[in-house]
């Protein structure tokens, strides 16, 4: 018996979906393109929302920003669900190894007592800030127009929930359940935290999707994360007590650097669309950054003491440099 093996070239009947082909031509599309572009429902809405009867359930008028094509707000990370979960799984494995390393060697018990107390006083109330950010990005995911933006906001909401969980785990490692309770009490009652709490609660009732994007993802996160995780955790605290807390919070620092690229890309594309968009984004960014900076003054003093003013000035300057690259004016 003789068997002849032959190779046959199979030509695909199509390279991608028709709606993707209209945008990018008849060629093989990336997974990000196929999982993102033109997925926004546009027809066959049976009724308007009873809670907002003046608008369709998916409506570009939920923001004052005007775009011809909402898919210009693409994610430079090219996160679709598969790519996002794989990236976060790798980071989860890394931080799990960090916690295991610390706990196996009892490094949490060798922390400088002063730094440990300051860390708990600073980081435990931030669990509630992360929860607010989760809620805000969920709101944007629900009402933003176009899958390019709302799927990325969905992932940001997941990330903030994860950050709250990491902070909870840190609190349990350094101070057990009492540390979490103390953090909640500080968030609710301590005078130093009320300006930031007011900021978070004000964002929770901000209805313009793109204004909320600026307030949460650019203004607050753009100041808070470098201030706490760069200036305090990897700066002053590391000098006094080593890298243990930095190992427990490495995700937050890495996440901010990665996410800022997406935030900046979205704002740059929106600002480039028209002078009206640029003016509006500049107005929002300046107003919300001013509020965020004022709210972080007492927090910076808790975390950094006498070095607070210089650190807050540094992160404010860095945010202004980001605004210049985006193409908006930031005055605060």
Q: How confident is the model at residue 7 (pLDDT cuts 50, 70, 90)?
A: confident
Task: Report pLDDT for 167.
Answer: 97
The arithmetic mean of pLDDT across residues 156-176, rounded, is: 96
Predicted confidence (pLDDT) per residue in 262-293, tens digit: 999 999 999 999 999 999 999 999 999 999 99
Whole-number Å distance between alpha carbons of 329 and 320? 8
The listed CATH number (1.10.620.20, 2.60.40.420, 3.40.50.300, 1.20.120.530) that belongs to domain 78-326: 1.10.620.20
Band of pLDDT at residue 72, cut at 50, 70 and 90: very high
Distance CA 199, CA 93 (A): 33
Residues 232-260: tens digit of each pLDDT = 999 999 999 999 999 999 999 999 999 99
Which two structure tokens, joined as six digits, stand for 21?
Answer: 């082909």
* 318 pLDDT above the threshold of 90: yes
What are the extents of the domains in the chain?
78-326
User: Contact, 300 vs 227, CB < 8 A?
Assistant: yes
44, pLDDT greater than 90: no
Q: What is the 8-class DSSP label of residue 191? A: G
Over residues 185-200, the pLDDT tens digits come to 999 999 999 999 999 9
Of the pLDDT bands very low, low, confident and very high (cuts 50, 70, 90), residue 1 is low
Give residue 58's pLDDT: 87
Average pLDDT over the chain reads 95
E strand or H helix at 258, and its extent? Answer: helix 250-273
What residues contact residue 141 under an 8 Å CB cut-off, 6+ apart?
150, 151, 153, 154, 157
CA 109, 115, 118: angle at the middle one, nearest 5? 115
Whole-number pLDDT of residue 117: 96
Q: What's the whole-number mean pLDDT along residues 86-112?
A: 93
Enter the tokens of residue 330. Answer: 């930031």
Q: Which one has a higher pLDDT value, 7 or 297? A: 297
What CA–CA distance (Å, rounded) separates 221 from 270?
A: 19
pTM, entire model: 0.94
- The Cα 288–Cα 277 span in angstroms is 16
Answer whether 227's CB lies under 8 Å from 315's CB. yes
According to the model, what pLDDT value does residue 116 have?
96
């Amino acid at each position: 018996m003789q068997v002849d093996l032959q190779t046959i070239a199979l030509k695909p009947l199509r390279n991608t979906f028709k709606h993707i082909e209209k945008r990018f031509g008849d060629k093989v599309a990336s997974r990000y393109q196929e999982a993102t572009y033109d997925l926004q429902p546009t027809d066959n809405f049976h009724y308007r929302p009873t809670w907002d009867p003046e608008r369709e359930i998916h409506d570009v008028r939920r923001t004052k920003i005007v775009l011809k094509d909402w898919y210009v707000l693409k994610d430079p990370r090219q996160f679709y669900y598969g790519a996002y979960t794989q990236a976060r799984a790798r980071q989860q494995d890394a931080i799990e190894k960090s916690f295991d390393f610390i706990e196996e060697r009892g490094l949490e018990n060798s922390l400088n007592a002063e730094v440990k107390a300051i860390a708990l006083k600073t980081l435990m109330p931030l669990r509630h800030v992360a929860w607010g950010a989760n809620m805000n990005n969920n709101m944007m995911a629900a009402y933003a127009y176009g899958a390019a933006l709302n799927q990325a906001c969905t992932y940001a909401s997941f990330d903030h929930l994860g950050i709250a969980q990491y902070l909870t785990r840190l609190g349990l490692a350094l101070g057990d359940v009492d540390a979490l309770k103390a953090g909640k009490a500080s968030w609710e009652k301590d005078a130093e935290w009320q300006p930031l709490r007011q900021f978070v609660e004000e964002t929770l009732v901000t209805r313009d999707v793109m204004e909320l994007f600026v307030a949460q993802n650019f203004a607050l996160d753009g100041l808070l994360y470098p201030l706490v995780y760069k200036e305090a955790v990897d700066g002053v605290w590391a000098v006094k007590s080593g890298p243990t807390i930095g190992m427990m919070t490495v995700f937050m620092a890495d996440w901010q650097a990665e996410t800022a690229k997406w935030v900046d890309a979205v704002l740059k594309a929106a600002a480039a669309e028209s002078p009206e968009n640029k003016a509006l984004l500049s107005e929002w960014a300046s107003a919300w950054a001013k509020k965020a900076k004022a709210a972080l003054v007492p927090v910076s003093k808790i975390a950094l003491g006498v070095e607070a003013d210089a650190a807050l000035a540094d992160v404010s300057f860095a945010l202004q440099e980001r605004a210049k690259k985006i193409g908006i004016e930031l005055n605060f």
